[in-house]
Amino acid sequence: MTFHNSGVLIVGSGISGLSAALRLAEKNIYSTILSKRPSLDTSSAWAQGGVAAVMSDDDSFDQHLHDTEVASAGTIDRSIAMKVISNGPSVISWLNEMGVPFEKKSKGKFSLGREGGHSKRRIVHVKDATGRFIMEVLYRKAVESKYISFADELIVYELLTKDVSGSLELVGVKAYDRAHKKSLEIKCTHVCLATGGHAGLYRMATSPAKGSGLGLAIEAGCIVENLQYVQFHPTALYKKNGVLQLITEALRGEGALLRDLKGRSFMADYHELGELAPRDIVSRSIFEVMKKQETPYLYLDATHLSESELIQRFPNIYSICEASKINMTKKWMPITPAAHYTCGGIKIDEHGRTNVKGIFAIGECSSSGLHGANRLASNSLLESLVFAIFVTDQIESDSFYELSITEKHLKEVPLPMKKIEKIVIECQELMWRKVGIVRTNEGLEQALEKIQQMQDEVALIKDNFEEFIQINRLEQRLLVCKEIVRAARGCSKNLGTHFNLDN
């Protein structure tokens, strides 16, 4: 674990964090990436679809903007969206020049996929494992850079601020060093939160991320918005528990069909685009059929497609299914919707700044205005890559101070981990049942009441202990859950990913 004596702390080592660090390095600015896991073990590496960007002559920025706005139910910030979209080709070039092996045609042009909500083929991809290939290239470049250092096994659990003439400013962070069981207080002036989303707060989810960055930001006084907009991926490979592996939307883009237990293709009953309808509509349609047929899963059928093309285009999906003893070329895949992407988050401006001076946010933990009530497929990696430019341009114009680190060894006291884990599981089940794909006023009120009971229970646990990371993080998760419920309860109109039967 090493720290530069000046520069920026980046919390999170996915595509957002690595992109920001590399963009800073291009400006000769030092950064240290703090992460709780090795840098390649992130949700970014699981992103299958690709990066949405205008790369063909029959496409345009205006068309990409239109599709983005339609998917969001008209709730995006158009100026932000256009700024992001218009930077799409340049970030693809940036990645291409670094060596990301994007799929290309014989003449060197990009092979473009199409996903739900897109009117054109504009998904730049590497087979069906785009996130992993981008991560590998960015990580290798970051390791090679003298301007970037890594501090793995560090869990940031508090952002330290001070009040300056009525405004909050960052002064440092507290982090727990898992390897050496000690707390670090790091004095700094710039932190970039790149911690991912909070889909893991739900029982059925494609990511383990449980809103750590969002919880930190809320406690530090950052404004959050649009937390009611949680996107559920329509097709995760079904299993009874654990993080589910998603089946990329690109498979439906190539012609795979959704079928009910009787084998009937049903999506044409719900939307004119069928399988390519926006994700929220597909997820609710599946949910409704599941409820009618009293089943925890339905099917995705790709057996009518070319076996050789399926294996060549979707080797990752083929391997995932094979590990579950499913040959996707001959057998239907059992699928369920699962919490996947969080459209809202820490409110940022066009430079990635929050309302607390010195705290920036980028990627899924943020709310930039690009997604509104519903994210258009593959706009997420685009946002991360482009906002890395915006954030680092702003940071370049700021002043820096030296970092200083104070260490504090923590006592090893046995915590009631079974009780803590029980609360985590109960909360995930509660969020899935009451704050999920379809909501009701009564369900939201019940969720709020139950979360308050959990918070009271955690407060009693905390009274018996001092500064312990597990308790801090559980408090933050419950705080995020409460804010999601409050946002959903206060939303009187069904838009995008928010659907309340009582509206």
Let me know the angle formed at the C-alpha of 146 by 142 and 152, rounded to the nearest 5 degrees.
55
Determine whether 173 is exposed, middle or buried from the number of CB atoms within 10 Å of its CB (0-12, 13-18, 19+). Answer: buried
- Residue 67 amino acid letter: D
Separation of alpha carbons 344 and 210, rounded Å = 14
Are residues 81 and 65 in contact, defined by beta-carbon separation less than 8 angstroms? yes
CA atoms within 13 A on the CB side of 458: 24
376: tokens are 């258009």
Q: Integer distance in angstroms from the first to the last C-alpha of the chain?
A: 51
Q: In what order do the strands lie in the sheet with 366-367?
A: 224-225, 345-347, 366-367
Q: For helices 379-396 and 78-86, what crossing angle results, to 10°?
A: 90
Spatial separation of the C-alpha atoms in residues 359 and 217, rounded to whole Å: 8
Neighbours of 126 (CB within 10 A): 21
Nearest CA-CA partner of 359 in 54, 42, 10, 71 = 10
Euclidean distance between CA atoms 366 and 14, whole angstroms: 14
Written as one string, the DSSP assignment of 258-318 is EE-TTS-B-GGGT-TTGGGS-HHHHHHHHHHHHHHTT-S-EEEE-TTS-HHHHHHH-HHHH
Q: Of residues 114, 279, 284, 489, which has the active-site annotation?
A: 279
For the chain, give the number of residues: 503
Sequence letter at residue 332:
W
What are the C-alpha distances in Å from 479 to residues 102, 143, 388, 411, 473?
40, 35, 28, 26, 10
Instruction: Report the alpha-carbon distance of residue 131 to residue 14 in Å, rounded.
Output: 9
Phi then psi for residue 341, to 5 deg, are -140, 140
Catalytic residue check, 279: yes
* Helix, strand, or coil (residue 328): coil
Exposed e or buried b for every residue in 88-125, given b needs 16+ CB within 10 A? beebbebbeeeebebbeeeeeebebbbbbbbebbbbbb
Q: What is the 8-class DSSP label of residue 354?
A: -
Q: Are 31 and 8 in contact (CB under 8 A)?
A: yes
Q: Which residues are catalytic?
A: 279
